[in-house]
Amino acid sequence: MKVSKTNKILCLCALVILTQVTTTLTGTQYYLTQLTMAAYYGLVVIGLGVLMGYAGQISIGHAGFFAIGGYISAAMTTHNLVQLQDTPIISFCSQMGLLMERQDIYGDQLLTFAPWAACVTALLLAALIAFFLGIPVLKLKGHYLAMATLGFGTIIYRLVLATPLFGEADGISEVPAFTLLPAIGSLPPIMVSGDFGLRVINYYLAWGVLIIGMILLLNLIDSRVGRALRSLHSSEEAAEASGVHTSGCKVYVFVISAVYAALAGVLLTHYNAGIGPSEASVMKSVRYVALVAVGGMTNLWGTLIVGISLTFLSLRGVFGSYDDAVFAAILIGVMLFSPAGILSLRGCLLPSKQEIAPAKEENL
């Protein structure tokens, strides 16, 4: 019995609402904080899932795109432009409404770019970098591709660690809230902010973004591009011969997954009011790849469930100092006993007709 795509999405929506209502009724709303953060990480993971599972391209550098989103947005919304106020460029930006004035916690005047302007810049930049990086990188195969993406991630990590504008080792703090809709009448404002009072709104916001992201990706998989990708996954030569523009498809998906990561970076940075270099580290990239693998390479739902739940547990510090060790154990266990992802275990227990897509990553 196959559950349709729409029904799954509706189930997810229901679950999201149910969770919120339950936590409110039981007075355990604090769970929403980590659920919100996990949702943003989930966005990175599903974007990477499509790249790895459907386009068959590994990327050990996705934390780099997350960091591009987060850091650009954080730097633009915290770097004080008061001294440059009278320069033509800044006054032009000011007239265009790109700037925002506020006071910091110590009462000093701050003039920075508005979050939405920073957000758009960050996403565009991530897309551009992904595009120009994707063209040469995606020509590489197997371990060489892994190396190149790892290299990209390392470069970004090194740059944020070495650049004073990005706060070097401390990262950036005091990132303002991202107001999407100002307060209208008695309605509260909709803004991305870690404030406890805005938690429920932020929870829905994060999950809304995640669900929309999921719908778009599911549609992509079922579209022409998705079919092309699948053909490319089984045999690149055959796909090429039947007129599929393989390299174009790969770059397209690479850019999309980079934008997903960057968007997650932007939103989470505003939610956390800061970002640090650990978000750009190679270990983070490896974690994303591992989450996709544990969830099942060609199983976007599995990726989503695993990505959210493991991140949630880790953010709550459930495993204490054994966080990485437990993660590694799960990783090895799933890869040994159920290489098609944790959800495929279901298939072993309840044999069904539905064939689980075999993991064919020979050409990675």
Q: Are 195 and 179 in contact (CB under 8 A)?
A: no
**What is the distance, to the nearest Å, from the Cα of residue 334 to the centroid of all Cα atoms in its chain?**
23
Which C-beta is closer to another protein: that of 73 or that of 93? 73
Q: Are 39 and 207 in contact (CB under 8 A)?
A: yes
Please report, for residues 83, 114, 216, the alpha-carbon distance to residue 88 in angstroms, rounded to integers and kept in the order given.
12, 18, 41
Q: Are 260 and 304 in contact (CB under 8 A)?
A: no
102 binds another protein (CB under 8 A): no
Instruction: Report the nearest approach of another protein to the CB of residue 171 (Å).
Output: 5
d(CA 214, CA 9): 9
Instruction: Report the nearest approach of another protein to the CB of residue 140 (Å).
Output: 5
Write out the binding residues for another protein, residues 337-356 only, by CB under 8 A: 339
**What is the distance, to the nearest Å, from the Cα of residue 46 to the centroid of all Cα atoms in its chain?**
7
Instruction: Report the nearest approach of another protein to the CB of residue 274 (Å).
Output: 4
Write out the binding residues for another protein, residues 2-31 only, by CB under 8 A: 30
First-to-last C-alpha distance (Å) of the chain: 31
Among 48, 111, 138, 293, binds another protein (CB under 8 A): 293
Which C-beta is closer to another protein: that of 93 or that of 203? 203
Among 16, 43, 111, 289, binds another protein (CB under 8 A): 289
75 binds another protein (CB under 8 A): no
Write out the binding residues for another protein, residues 128-167 only, by CB under 8 A: 136-137, 139-144, 146-148, 150-152, 154-155, 158-159, 161-162, 167
120 binds another protein (CB under 8 A): no
Which C-beta is closer to another protein: that of 266 or that of 293? 293
DSSP string, 307-329: HHHHHHHHHTTTTGGGHHHHHHH
Q: Which residues pair with 110 in a beta bridge?
A: 102
d(CA 265, CA 276): 11
Tally of CB atoms within 10 A around 350:
7
Among 13, 165, 181, 283, binds another protein (CB under 8 A): 283
Q: Are 199 and 278 in contact (CB under 8 A)?
A: no
Among 278, 348, 352, 354, binds another protein (CB under 8 A): 278
Write out the binding residues for another protein, residues 180-209 only, by CB under 8 A: 194-196
d(CA 292, CA 305): 10
Residues near another protein (CB under 8 A), total: 77
d(CA 207, CA 34): 12
| Cα angle: 304, vertex 361, 39; to 5 degrees | 15
325 binds another protein (CB under 8 A): yes
x/- site string to another protein, residues 212 to 251, per CB under 8 A?
----------------------------------------
Among 12, 20, 23, 37, binds another protein (CB under 8 A): 37
327 binds another protein (CB under 8 A): yes
